[in-house]
Amino acid sequence: MRTVVIDGPTNVRVDTRPDPVLPGPDGAIVEVSAAGICGSDLHFYEADFPLAEPIALGHEAVGTVVEIGRQVRTVKVHDQVMVSSVAGCGNCPGCTTRDPVMCHKGFQIFGGGVLAGAQADLLAVPAADFQLLKIPDGISTEQALLLTDNLATGWAAAQRADIPLGGTVAVMGLGAVGLCALRSALFQGAAKVFAVDRVDGRLDRAAAWGATPVKAPAVEAILAATSGRGADAVIDAVATDASMTDALNAVRPGGTVSVVGVHDLQPFPLNALGCLIRSITLRMTTAPVQRTWPELIPLLASGRLDVDGIFTTTLPLDAAAKGYAIAAARNGDDVKILLTP
């Protein structure tokens, strides 16, 4: 089978590897029909994370079940499914919360060096009853792919931001996760969302969705717009030192900063005293993907929650290197790349 591999900074290629085998009696093999390039994949591409050996990339996938183990009960061969980007054992007390991060055996992420990458022809999925969900009627391929990670992440970011009804929210970073967080914040009760980015095209897209665009760095503009008080909540979908510092300075006293961007491996210089004096709540979240599905699927199927326009570019799997270069450029036209094996 083909799989997207990285073996050094910006060095992405499509490799040929043996087809996967069932990862146990509770596992499944999925033939991937669509995979996403995520902003967190770029940490490997841009050398934020070290590479001891080539890594098969990707953690966002939808596809068709082609084989199941004898213990699998919730999906069957030929089902169209989405794959949670975050995996748990599915059997422990932690996994009963439907949050794989709580797995007592330790959660894993596809395409991170342990589990196989989802940007491939085939994907081996352990604990299939926990990781897989048959795509419900009324959910498109693009919506299902966002449900595997980006929308679940943006939704959880907004939930954990403690947004008061009618409150103000700032969203730092307008990639796919940031745009999902923006839509989620508006749905969850924010009256005003400041959308922060450096790229004009992304700011224009956010403005078209009802947000107030602010060019980064944005602290002064947000303070000025809130009479010096700051936003009730800030969602950081970037998680650089600069964005996290801006987030902590742009939130009001007693407010919440919700971080879902992926930081690099360097320590963050937190102004702990300043946060203490201002009673700031700081939350950092890996998305509880499976737990978000019962909330998000009805909202998408009914049209109440709209995520159209986040996928902007579709490429064949063999053009993965081009897709990564486009994603790394972070321009105003290309937000989210979809690969089709």
pLDDT band, residue 75 (cuts 50/70/90): very high
Residue 245 is which amino acid?
A: T
- What whole-number distance in Å separates Cα of residue 58 and Cα of residue 116? 8
The stretch 15-24 carries a mean pLDDT of 97
CATH 3.90.180.10 fits 2-149+288-339, yes or no: yes
Structure tokens given for 65: 């079940």
The stretch 150-177 carries a mean pLDDT of 98
8 Å CB contact between 234 and 217:
no
What is the reported pTM?
0.97
Tens digit of pLDDT for each residue in 253-286? Answer: 999 999 999 999 999 999 999 999 999 999 999 9
Q: Which residues of the chain does CATH 3.40.50.720 include?
A: 153-284
Q: What is the dihedral of CA 121, 45, 132, 338, to 10 degrees?
A: -60
**Architecture of domain 153-284 in this structure:** 3-Layer(aba) Sandwich (3.40)
Query: Helices (H) and strands (E) in the chain — how many of each?
Result: 11, 18
- Write the DSSP symbol of residue 12: E
8 Å CB contact between 227 and 254:
no
pLDDT band, residue 206 (cuts 50/70/90): very high
Structure tokens given for 152: 């679940």
Q: Which residues of the chain does CATH 3.90.180.10 include?
A: 2-149+288-339
* Residue among 280, 291, 279, 253 nearest 88 (CA): 291
Give the Å distances, CA to CA, from 71 to 24, 31, 127.
9, 19, 9
User: Looking at per-residue confidence, does 151 or 53 come out higher?
Assistant: 151
